[in-house]
Amino acid sequence: MKKIAVLLGLAFLGACSSDDTSAVASDSKTITANDFESLAGWNNDPATLDKGHAHSGQYAIKVDKDHEFSTTFDMALGLATPAKIKTVHLEAWAYLPSNKATGMLGVQVMDPATNQQVFGDGIRLGEQVKEYNKWTQVSKDIVLPDNITSLQHIRMSLWRADATDRVLVDDVKLSIKD
């Protein structure tokens, strides 16, 4: 009886599996993608989540006068890919309520031994978003320096910068361009 139950369980699991590998293969260049309904892979600061005004789902990340940085994604470059990354593509949806909401969706490469920034760049939201009180898609290709290593970490977060109004970002994706 136990053997039959085990065999039926295995058959059921096999029936639930998929032979479709295209989703994995077509997404092999994604480092992270998040709509902030889950924060797996991100440090969790609930105060930097905005509920109810998201581009998709219920949550978006935010910065405001009380929060300089949003929740942050952090991963060793070697975990993202065994190959050397030359360029990453950063895309997201941004919501700026006024011209006082500027902010930056930033990418950093950090040395884990010293916690010092090796490289930093990002999307200056005030330069790309031209309509306020509306979700706007933003993107940028970011060329990484030649001296980065697989042991260094790539981080992504929303930075308030000089914004005096709140800034929202949702549906972020960081991927390897080449």
Establish if 16 belongs to a structural domain.
Answer: no
Q: Is the pLDDT of residue 17 over 90?
A: no
Q: How many domains does the chain have?
A: 1
Establish if 5 belongs to a structural domain.
Answer: no
Establish if 172 belongs to a structural domain.
Answer: yes
**Confidence bin at 164 (pLDDT 50/70/90):** very high
Q: Is the pLDDT of residue 121 over 90?
A: yes
**Confidence bin at 28 (pLDDT 50/70/90):** confident
Domain that residue 134 falls in: 29-176
Establish if 12 belongs to a structural domain.
Answer: no
| Residue range 79-89, pLDDT digits in tens | 989 899 999 99
Handedness of CA 144, 119, 50, 79 (dihedral sign): positive
Domain of 165, CATH number, reads 2.60.120.260
- pTM value? 0.81
pLDDT score, position 43: 83
pLDDT score, position 5: 39
